[in-house]
């Protein structure tokens, strides 16, 4: 039982779960439980931790329409909106207090609204599951390449998180132990909860492509297979590109953003990554790669206006390939 959703063998059941409160009533997220006919572990599957990242719920819907419950061992708990406030505001941040939910874990039951939400989500997910898959994309303002992100700190749960990352189907595998991601849900699920968790990202830019839907839907099936919840072996790339620490490059000038590289491209120090032009058509800033070797984790949505200070590139330090 999660909120009003009651699991039933061989069925997909639905309901709502309370995550906080509005001034006039509860903050609710739709939740579905896909309960297999066989016993097994529980996967916590969630989407829209950042409001506009709708590749997530659409991929979960596809998974639920195609999964064979006769073959499923255990259950998949599907939290459709990890941040219902951000979803309603179509905002990466919680509109009521301006916080990025995925930077404030483990949260605080006495803190700001977003901190209370983080505390509730961590409690709920750890109480009801053995592993977590957190679906993301670039939402409206950025476009990410297809990558997975997890916290492998060398513990059994960290090692399992990396194993799932390598099984999810993403060609880009990023073990991030950096301070900037210490407030993420997946980090705390693994570090304080002692259970494996991973993020999978694909797409964004205020649109959803068939490829993004394929990528995130495949990630759900692949993680279920890797956890022994569905028969078969995950389809994985022959070679992984590995990621290390990332930098989040911000524009110093506002204008129109004209990228020269796309999500997933390899870049090297000094490479011309983008121009920012003013309304006269003059280049007011040329963005060059500030790090030795990286791959483009995400770019700002092309051609749209930006303010100075807006993030234009996520550059993930290249740690080579596996196999080399
Ligand atoms: Zn996100």
* 116 Cβ contact partners less than 8 Å away, ≥ 6 residues apart: 20, 107, 108, 109, 110
150: CA distance to ligand 1 center in Å? 14
Which pLDDT score, from 0 to 100, does residue 178 have? 85
What does the pLDDT read at residue 102?
A: 97
Measured between alpha carbons, how far apart are the two ends of the chain, in Å? 46
Given this model, what pLDDT does residue 181 score? 87
Ligand 1 centroid from CA 218, angstroms? 18
Distance 138 CA to ligand 1 centre (A): 6
Angle at 147 between CA 143 and CA 148, to 5 degrees: 130
Task: Enumerate domains of the chain plus CATH numbers.
Answer: 12-237 (3.40.630.10), 241-322 (2.40.50.100)
Distances (CA, A) of 265 to 96, 102, 172, 245, 308: 36, 25, 11, 16, 24
**Ligand 1 centre from 281 Cα, in Å?**
33
Return the closest-CA partner of residue 294 out of 257, 250, 249: 249
pTM: 0.97
User: What is the Cα–Cα distance from 74 to 123, expressed in whole angstroms?
Assistant: 20
CA-closest candidate to residue 16, choices 91, 97, 68, 79:
79
The CA 50 to ligand 1 mean position distance, Å, reads: 5
| Rounded (5°) CA angle 255-271-317 | 100
The alpha carbon of 279 and the centre of ligand 1 are apart by a number of angstroms equal to: 31
Ligand 1 centroid to Cα of residue 53, in Å, is: 6
Cβ-based neighbours of 146, under 8 Å, separated by 6 or more? 170, 171, 172, 200, 201, 202, 215, 264
Using the mean position of ligand 1's atoms as its centre, give its distance from the Cα of residue 203 in Å: 10
**pLDDT at residue 229, rounded to an integer:** 98
Cα–ligand 1 centroid distance for 17 (angstroms): 21
Per-residue model confidence (pLDDT) at position 79: 98
CA 93 to ligand 1 center in whole angstroms: 10
Ligand 1: centre distance to CA 283 (Å): 31
pLDDT at 177: 87
pLDDT of 110 reads 97
Q: With 0-12 CB in 10 A as exposed, 13-18 as middle and 19+ as buried, what is 124?
A: buried
Identify which of 318, 153, 308 has the alpha carbon closest to the alpha carbon of residue 247: 318
**pLDDT at res. 288:** 98
pLDDT per residue, tens digit, the chain (324 aa), is 999 999 999 999 999 999 999 999 999 999 999 999 999 999 999 999 999 999 999 999 999 999 999 999 999 999 999 999 999 999 999 999 999 999 999 999 999 999 999 999 999 999 999 999 999 999 999 999 999 999 999 999 999 999 999 999 999 999 988 888 899 999 999 999 999 999 999 999 999 999 999 999 999 999 999 999 999 999 999 999 999 999 999 999 999 999 999 999 999 999 999 999 999 999 999 999 999 999 999 999 999 999 999 999 999 999 999 999
Q: 201: CA distance to ligand 1 center in Å? A: 8
* Sequence-distant (≥ 6) Cβ neighbours of residue 272 within 8 angstroms: 260, 286, 287, 288
> How many whole angstroms from 299 Cα to the centroid of ligand 1?
13
Non-local (6+) Cβ contacts of 113 within 8 A are 20, 85, 94, 96, 97, 99
């Amino acid at each position: 039982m999660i909120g009003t959703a009651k699991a039933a063998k061989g069925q997909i059941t639905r309901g709502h779960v309370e995550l906080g409160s509005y001034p006039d009533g509860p903050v609710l997220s739709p939740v579905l439980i896909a309960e297999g006919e066989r016993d097994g572990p529980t996967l916590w599957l969630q989407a829209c931790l950042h409001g506009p990242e709708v590749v997530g719920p659409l991929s979960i819907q596809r998974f639920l329409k195609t999964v064979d419950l006769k073959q499923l061992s255990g259950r998949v708990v599907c939290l459709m909106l990890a941040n219902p406030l951000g979803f309603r505001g179509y905002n990466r941040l919680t509109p009521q207090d301006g916080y990025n939910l995925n930077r404030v874990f483990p949260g605080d039951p006495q803190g700001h609204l977003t901190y209370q939400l983080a505390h509730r989500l961590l409690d709920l997910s750890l109480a009801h599951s053995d592993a977590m898959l957190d679906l993301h994309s670039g939402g409206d303002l950025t476009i990410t390449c297809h990558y997975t992100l997890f916290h492998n700190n060398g513990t059994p749960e960290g090692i399992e998180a990396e194993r799932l990352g390598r099984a999810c189907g993403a060609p880009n595998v990023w073990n991030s132990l950096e301070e900037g991601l210490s407030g993420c849900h997946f980090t705390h699920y693994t570090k304080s909860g002692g259970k494996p968790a991973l993020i999978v990202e694909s797409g964004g830019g205020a649109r959803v492509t068939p490829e993004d839907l394929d990528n995130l839907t495949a990630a759900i099936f692949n993680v279920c297979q890797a956890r022994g919840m569905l028969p078969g072996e995950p389809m994985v790339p022959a070679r992984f590109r590995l990621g290390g620490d990332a930098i989040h490059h911000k524009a110093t000038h506002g204008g129109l953003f004209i990228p020269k590289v796309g999500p997933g491209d390899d870049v090297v120090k000094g490479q011309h990554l983008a121009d920012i032009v003013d309304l006269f058509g003059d280049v007011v800033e040329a963005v060059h790669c500030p790090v030795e070797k990286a791959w483009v984790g995400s770019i700002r949505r092309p051609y749209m206006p930006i303010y100075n200070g807006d993030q234009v590139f996520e550059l993930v330090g290249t740690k080579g390939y596996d196999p080399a």
